[in-house]
Amino acid sequence: MTEDARIAWLEGFAAGELAKYGCAYRPGTAEAKAWEAGWEQGRLKRSGMPCREMPLPSEVDEPPADS
């Protein structure tokens, strides 16, 4: 788990809870993907739906290096 991606996920979760969109991370980066995953979970929480309040390892892990 990268710390930057974990922080991005938590920022996205908070934004989703507040119905705010505007990811500050460059599209396609691990941080942007983590932010979007967190935002979706925050949106679910805002809607009263079941959600996760912490990221899955797959959402914040470094992608494998190309061989």
Cα–Cα dist 7/47, whole Å = 23
Count helices and strands in the chain by DSSP H and E runs: 3, 0
Domain-located, residue 66: no
Write the DSSP symbol of residue 61.
Answer: S
The total number of structural domains in the chain stands at 1
pLDDT tens-place string over residues 20-64? 989 999 999 999 999 999 999 999 999 999 999 988 888 887 665
- At residue 58, the pLDDT reads 84
Burial of 8 from C-beta contacts in 10 A (0-12 / 13-18 / 19+): buried
User: What is the domain range of residue 42?
Assistant: 3-60
Q: Would 65 be classed as within a structural domain?
A: no
**What is residue 63's predicted lDDT score, i.e. its pLDDT?**
60
- Assess if residue 67 is contained within a domain: no
Distance CA 3, CA 1 (A): 6
Residue 65: pLDDT band with limits 50, 70, 90: low
Question: How far, in Å, CA of 28 to CA of 17, rounded?
Answer: 23
